[in-house]
Amino acid sequence: MHTLTAHGATIPAIGLGTWMLTGEAATTSVAAAIQAGYRHIDTAIGYGNETEVGEGLRQSGVGRDEIFVTSKIPPDQLGADEMLRAAEGSLERLGIDQLDLLLIHWPSQTLSAAETIRSLNRVKQRGLTKHIGVSNYTIRLLDEAWAATEEPIVANQCEHHPYLNQDKLRAATDKHGMIFVAYSPLGQAGVLDEPEIKDIAGRFGRTPAQIVLRWQLQKGFVAIPRSTHPARIRQNLDVEGFDLSAADIAAIDELRSVGTRICDYDISPEWD
């Protein structure tokens, strides 16, 4: 699996998303994914599954150093002291000494992006995480955070799939030399029945999910698909060894006219 590099962080292009995976399913999915070759696991304090994800890391039998582990600080723990405690709790639950990447899960509604990123800088400087990043940040929030940070902000994790045009945000992450990590990269499976995608899948002898993930990779995104099925977990990693044509990519791009944003809540910022 190829990797993307930004500001000294090297991130495997496909990771396992664990949102909504809880209990035993979180452990078995993480262990199965790593055994299948995944080297990037994405969790969050807010998912309530870090203990189980940590168990999966250990059950996989693969060394900690070989796996890129991301977690995220929830919006109600973004004060300087709270953030530090939250990060310590995350490490304790995961059973690891240091995260590879720690993200601000959602922008704060009360603290500025400048204040928040400075607190995250402290967490990194104390050694709790190798790299820092953000999630659900808009162009304005990225600019504000970059203006205030001492440490590079290596990634912005946001929703991205064929039904959602993120060109403007992608240009902003590129401008800052950051990696755009696509969550809900399959549109939570909603795009997999699109005739256009099925046609391309048929031509390549691949599944629709593989086509969408290949589209993500060729466009330069890191993608973190989630599945509870071992066969699909394996399939979602097996997206090397073929290339979509420019016409195929353009055909999938056209689905953006649907304009679906799945993850939009009261706490969401004003999207670009």
The catalytic residues are 47
| CB 15, min distance to ligand A2P, A | 10
Nearest to 180 by CA among 146, 216, 129, 233: 216
For residue 16, the Cα-to-chain-centroid distance in whole angstroms is 8
Angle (deg, nearest 10), helices 230-237 and 208-218: 40
> What does the block give as tokens for 155?
């990634």
| CB 105, min distance to ligand A2P, A | 16
CA 254, CA 167: separation in Å to the nearest integer?
A: 13
For residue 142, the Cα-to-chain-centroid distance in whole angstroms is 17
- Each residue 203-232 as x (binds ligand A2P by CB under 6 A) or -, in order, gives ----x-x---------------xxxxx--x
Could you say which residues in the range 170-189 bind ligand A2P, by CB under 6 A? 184-189
Identify whether the C-beta of residue 27 lies closer than 8 Å to the C-beta of residue 60. no
| CB 124, min distance to ligand A2P, A | 28
DSSP, collapsed to helix, strand or coil, labels residue 220 as coil
Could you say which residues in the range 145-164 bind ligand A2P, by CB under 6 A? none
Closer CB to ligand A2P, 71 or 207, in the complex: 207
| CB 117, min distance to ligand A2P, A | 27
Instruction: Provide the binding-site residues for ligand A2P, judged by CB under 6 A.
Output: 17, 184-189, 192, 207, 209, 225-229, 232, 235-236
